[in-house]
Homo-oligomer: A and B are copies of this chain.
Amino acid sequence: MKNSINIGLLGFGTIGTGVVRVLQKNADVIQQRLGAPVQLLKIADLDITTDRGVQVAPAILTTNVEEVISHPDIDLVIELIGGYEPAKSFLLKAIANGKHVVTANKALMAVHGQEIIAAANQAGVSVMFEAAVGGGIPVISPIKESLGANRFSSVLGILNGTCNYILTKMTDHGSEFAAVLKEAQQLGYAEADPTFDIEGVDTAHKIALLSSLCFGTRVDFNQVYIEGISNIDAVDISFAKQMGYKIKLLAIGKNHGDQIEVRVHPTMIPAEDQLAEVDGVFNAVRLTGDFVGPTLLYGSGAGMDPTASAVMGDVMAIGRDILCGARLRVPIMGCCEEAVQSLPIQPMSEIISHYYLHFKSLDRPGVLARIAGCLGDHHISIQSMIQPERHEADCVPIVLMTHAAKEADVVKALKEIEAFDITCQNPRLIRVEHDLG
């Protein structure tokens, strides 16, 4: 019987440092729970000289990835490099060498998951990625295991701390996007190049993975609708508030049986919903299963320590398998490969939603009638309307909330209204979600 679990680390950045910290600080707890110590044999990084604030024996540091992924004594490789390449090549090589893999790489798993899973199944090794979604919050394991007897109808999430921090600040202080982004960058809550976060790509990677896990289907990432928060205006946040809503970058996965919805966009949700109260850099996931009902999992969605916690949870799960001789105990995506479906993603044009529409028109009599008429022609009925006081020069805002309507109809109507001679500015649309699980 093995008397330790031997691991190697690829990438000694923030999360890698967190993993070293937890291994050192909680070695006793980990061993007591696992039944054997976890030994970190090698760390590979291009930079092995910078002081990360943790003590590491110089001999375990290397710039040569091969020393990790081909190390004869290493059972498990933790990949914390991020991005597609060279992370993918390293992972595949580690797998081919019979190493189990734990990764926090959502981009890689969401886009190249199939290839990695196929390689792992062939090699008989595990790939786990709890840290890829929701930081330290246990989400992936509960879907695959504790809640595994459920048919999930939806999975909704606030999955990006940067976006949620920015939207929270905009909501609380009425600030504009650009100013808050700058502040977030200064505080370290947003990257120097924040595109992946603020344009919703990171969130989309995560909801693609969650949808795949919950609904037992492959998700073609290219079919996921992605809209970020960079066009959100303080005034829309304020109008939303007046109407009893908050704007969140909501990740939405829904299962309609023959097709699924997987989409990410700024979304107005009722202010009293728990998801609306997830503020700042926190994350939350609401899973709705046919037996368990709605279940909310909430916590720190990012950061060195919470992410290291999730990585180590996976290391311990695989460690337990190693210690008791189990192989491929839980399928990588929670569902046996032969049962995984390939459900199509519903095109955005077909989704049914409520819509918040913000028009700016010349202040003429009959404006509302023309807009409402056009919407009506496209089978869109109005649920409520506010005509705020704010005027800019000759333009007046008109804010409408629609009843459930088809996206294609809304797009068509807005195109027509855009062309009206009374329209001062292209209408703004924010989807409204009431069906929150």
Contact = CB atoms under 8 A, between A and B. Distances in A.
Interface of A: 18, 21-22, 25-26, 29-35, 130, 136-138, 141-142, 144-151, 216, 274, 277, 289-300, 305-306, 308-310, 312-317, 320-321, 323-331, 334-336, 339
A154 to B, nearest CB: 14
Given A29-B216, A33-B216, 5 more contacts: A22-B149, A35-B331, A137-B292, A324-B328, A325-B326
Nearest to A21: B291
A28 B112 CA distance: 27
A331 to B, nearest CB: 7
A276 B112 CA distance: 42
A244 to B, nearest CB: 17
Kindly report how many copies of this chain are found in the complex they form together: 2
Contacts of A142: 138, 141-142, 146
Contact of A295 (B21, B25, B26, B136): B136
Contacts of A298: 274, 295-298
A128 to B, nearest CB: 10
A292 B299 contact: yes
A309 B25 contact: no
Contact of A151 (B29, B274, B295, B329): B29
A335 B295 contact: no
Contacts of A141: 141-142, 145-146
Nearest to A317: B145
Contact of A26 (B149, B317, B326, B334): B149
A146 B150 contact: no
A322 to B, nearest CB: 10
A175 to B, nearest CB: 22
A69 B123 CA distance: 39
Nearest to A299: B295
A320 B126 CA distance: 14
A272 to B, nearest CB: 9
B136 A291 contact: yes
Nearest to A328: B324
5 tightest A-B contacts by CB?
A149-B312, A138-B146, A295-B299, A32-B339, A136-B292
A162 to B, nearest CB: 18
A300 B309 contact: no
A120 B299 CA distance: 34
Contacts of A308: 149, 291
Contacts of A216: 29, 32-33
A266 to B, nearest CB: 23
A6 to B, nearest CB: 16
